[in-house]
Amino acid sequence: MNVTKLAPSILSADFGCLEREVASVVEAGCDWIHVDVMDGRFVPNITMGPLVVSALRRRFTCTLDVHLMVEQPESIIPAFVEAGADVITIHQEATHHPHRALQMIRNTGLRAGLALNPGTGLDGLPYLADDIDLLLVMTVNPGFGGQNLIPATLSKIASARRQLVELGHGDVLIEVDGGINEHTIRQVHEAGANVFVAGSAVFDHPDRADALARLTKALMS
Ligand code: DX5
Ligand code: ZN
């Protein structure tokens, strides 16, 4: 698959001027924005909810890629659908019923993603692959930006890509999230990822166009 997408994560943006922050990466050519939703239970941090997604939806036409780090996401999925999300990703570890949650998302016409923490294996993939558009392989433990990529996740990305092809779902996107920067992006791409979430590598850099160009260059090198 030839698709490659950079998805800046607004977790590392300045929330005091979020519209300007998002505009800075959209103007630099990004058409995916990654929105990290944390509930203080599944992960030890609290961020934003559907109101932020609907505010972004009113101002931007780009793909809003919503990553729910939330216990029992089933209860909050409808609010994010209503808010205007385009992709909603739930964590396998956050629900007893990942299949049902994925179907809830798909039944609304949105794209559904399944996220796996670094310590979670691919055992469920054969049973869930029919119901996903995207597999999010966490390359750090979720909860915070600015962490280092965990090297053991590289072999999981490669296995996931292999299994998806074998299952006849080679078109499922593999997204990677955590510690993606100029030094790691090529490795995760070679392993089989094609959507690259980057928080601090984009928003900690004052020149967003330059930060994105560096990532693209490292990806293509
Ligand atoms: C971590 C979040 C990430 C985070 C990545 O729990 O899911 O999306 O923003 O941040 P960086 O790119 O700084 O590792
Ligand atoms: Zn994320």
C-alpha of residue 166 to centroid of ligand 2, in Å: 27
What tokens does 122 get?
């691919």
Is residue 56 exposed (0-12), middle (13-18) or buried (19+ Cβ within 10 Å)?
buried
Mention the CATH class of domain 5-220. Answer: alpha beta
H/E stretch holding 90: strand 87-91
Q: What order do you get walking across the sheet with 63-69 strand by strand?
A: 5-8, 195-198, 173-177, 134-138, 111-116, 87-91, 63-69, 32-38
Residue 15: per-residue pLDDT:
97
Q: Please give the share of the chain, as a percent, with pLDDT higher than 90.
A: 98
C-alpha of residue 2 to centroid of ligand 2, in Å: 22
Residue ranges of the binding site for a divalent metal cation: 34, 36, 67, 177
Residue among 197, 204, 205 to mutate when testing ligand 1 (max atoms within 8 A of CB): 197
Give the separation between CA 180 and CA 196, rounded to whole angstroms.
Answer: 7
pLDDT digits (tens, 9 = 90+) for 7-29: 999 999 999 999 999 999 999 99
- Report the nearest atom of ligand 1 relative to the CA of 179: 14
3-state helix, strand, coil in the chain (%, to 5): 45, 20, 35
Give the separation between CA 49 and CA 25, rounded to whole angstroms.
Answer: 21
Residue 12: per-residue pLDDT:
98
The ligand that comes nearest to the alpha carbon of residue 9 is 1
Give the separation between CA 136 and CA 120, rounded to whole angstroms.
Answer: 12
The ligand that comes nearest to the alpha carbon of residue 145 is 1
| ipTM attached to this prediction | 0.98
Whose C-alpha lies nearest to ligand 1, atom 1? Answer: 142
The ligand that comes nearest to the alpha carbon of residue 11 is 1
pTM of the model: 0.98
Residue 3: per-residue pLDDT:
84
Q: What is the DSSP letter of 110?
A: -
- In sequence order, the β-bridge partners of residue 196 are 6, 176
> What residues does ligand 1 touch, defined as CB less than 6 Å away?
9, 11-12, 34, 36, 67, 140, 142-143, 145-147, 177-180, 197-201
* Chain mean pLDDT for the chain: 97
Domain ranges of the chain: 5-220
Give the separation between CA 64 and CA 89, rounded to whole angstroms.
Answer: 11
Give the separation between CA 102 and CA 182, rounded to whole angstroms.
Answer: 32
Q: Which residues contact 7 (CB under 8 A, 6 or more apart)?
A: 30, 32, 33, 34, 65, 175, 195, 196, 197, 198
Residue ranges of the binding site: 9, 34, 36, 67, 143-146, 177-179, 199-200
Residue 1: per-residue pLDDT:
57
Q: Which amino acid is present at 96?
A: H
Residue among 14, 67, 144, 215 to mutate when testing ligand 1 (max atoms within 8 A of CB): 144
189 has pLDDT over 70? yes
Closest CA to 69 of 47, 39, 99: 39
Whose C-alpha lies nearest to ligand 1, atom 6? Answer: 142
Cα atoms in the Cβ-side hemisphere of radius 13 Å centred on 3: 15
Please answer whether residues 154 and 188 qualify as being in contact, where contact means their C-beta atoms are separated by less than 8 angstroms. Answer: yes
